[in-house]
């Protein structure tokens, strides 16, 4: 891949200066608590509605702020990965079928299927949408596939680094993390190729694009890296104490939101301007139950949606 221009940038050594964040209870500060009977995990949100993957990997539910329970359930074998709402549809991956599903975002009706492959057996954040396309990491050898949502066909196959699993779209580019190489790759949507590779924290898994930056959740050292999307340089490193697997990150509603498996820091809100943690949302142990936290987070215009696998719950916070 000699034709690639590799811009290798070291992350900043100093962490953002952090004062003690405010701690509040997640449950009592939510405007809605929605019960999902299985294990709610990855989310997509749009306005007053959201879609959540059931972690038993066979269905996806449609949620609404006004309802205490799911409104629509769609059965998809091996449903996995963070769904995406774009082009008047919900895009969902089946890891068992290695197929991208297109659902009507109002009714949940299946209106398209595209056999694509999937890079990560667990799906994770394989799907992104923007610039008139759906983008999907389809092969662990390093393939980013560009799908035309109008006719549900593959229009471009782009080479990325092997072992690239998570993608996000924003600032007129696709951004892809690589867990092994500790990098983020920037894909030019006009040239359909990688134009920069940026060093971040250890084992970057999940990625969020928006709120003045590109943000990675680094499972190897429990940090979040902020990338300046214009210069491609690392702007900040934030210690969010999220070492290990699981978790999620989202940018929107005026903040950067981090879910982790650290039961002392289950949800955090980072100020995107100062790159410091402003709020930690806590959970209380349930009597007779193991104290475990993990799940996902997404934002819409007015709300922040937070799932928890172990409590069968999606909380909705007001922006």
pLDDT tens readout for residues 279-297: 999 999 988 877 899 999 9
Contact criterion met (CB below 8 Å) for 100 and 91: yes
> What pLDDT sits at residue 55?
84
Domain presence at residue 17: no
> What pLDDT sits at residue 223?
98
Nearest to 275 by CA among 55, 61, 18: 18
Domain presence at residue 9: no
Q: Which two tokens stand for residue 224?
A: 């979040």
Confidence of residue 16 (pLDDT cuts 50, 70, 90): low
Domain presence at residue 126: yes
Upper half-sphere CA count for residue 82 (Cβ side, 13 Å): 33
Q: Which two tokens stand for residue 200?
A: 């971040």
pLDDT digits (tens, 9 = 90+) for 140-152: 999 999 999 999 9
Mean pLDDT for the chain? 93
Q: Which domain holds residue 206?
A: 22-318
SS3 sequence of 41-62: EEEEEECCEEEEEECCCCEEEE
Domain presence at residue 93: yes
Task: Spell out the residues 6+ positions from residue 319 whose beta carbon is closer than 8 angstroms to its own.
Answer: 253, 254, 299, 301, 302, 303, 304
Partnered with residue 127 across adjacent β-strands are 136
Domain presence at residue 6: no
Domain presence at residue 123: yes
Report the CATH number at residue 61: 2.130.10.10
Domain presence at residue 133: yes
Q: How many domains does the chain have?
A: 1
State how beta strands 22-25 and 276-282 pair.
parallel
Q: Is the pLDDT of residue 202 over 70?
A: yes
Domain presence at residue 16: no
pLDDT digits (tens, 9 = 90+) for 59-96: 999 999 999 999 999 999 999 989 999 999 999 999 99
């Amino acid at each position: 891949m000699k034709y690639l221009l590799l811009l290798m940038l070291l992350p900043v050594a100093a962490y953002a200066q952090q004062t003690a964040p405010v701690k509040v209870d997640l449950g009592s500060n939510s405007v809605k608590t929605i019960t999902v009977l299985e294990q709610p995990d990855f989310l997509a949100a749009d306005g007053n509605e959201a879609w959540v993957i059931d972690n038993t990997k066979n269905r996806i539910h449609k949620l609404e702020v006004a309802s205490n329970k799911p409104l629509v359930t769609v059965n998809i074998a091996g449903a996995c990965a963070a769904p995406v709402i774009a082009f008047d549809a919900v895009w969902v991956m089946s890891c068992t079928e290695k197929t991208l599903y297109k659902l009507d975002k109002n009714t949940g009706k299946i209106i398209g299927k595209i056999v694509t492959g999937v890079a990560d057996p667990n799906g994770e954040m394989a799907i992104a949408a923007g610039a008139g396309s759906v983008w999907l990491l389809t092969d662990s050898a390093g393939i980013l596939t560009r799908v035309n949502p109008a006719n549900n066909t593959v229009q471009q196959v782009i080479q990325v680094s092997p072992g690239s699993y998570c993608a996000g779209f924003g600032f007129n580019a696709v951004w892809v993390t690589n867990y092994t190489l500790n990098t983020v790759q920037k894909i030019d949507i006009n040239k359909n190729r990688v134009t920069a590779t940026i060093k971040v924290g250890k084992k970057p898994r999940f990625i969020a694009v928006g709120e003045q930056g590109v943000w990675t959740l680094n499972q190897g050292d429990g940090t979040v890296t902020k990338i300046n999307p214009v210069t491609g340089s690392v702007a900040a490193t934030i210690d969010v104490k999220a070492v290990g697997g699981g978790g999620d990150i989202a940018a929107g509603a005026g903040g950067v939101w981090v879910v982790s498996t650290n039961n002392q820091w289950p949800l955090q809100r980072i100020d995107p301007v100062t790159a410091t943690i402003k709020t930690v949302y806590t959970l209380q142990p349930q009597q007779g139950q193991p104290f475990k936290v993990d799940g996902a987070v997404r934002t819409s215009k007015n709300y922040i949606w937070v799932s928890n696998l172990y409590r069968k719950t999606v909380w909705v916070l007001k922006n």
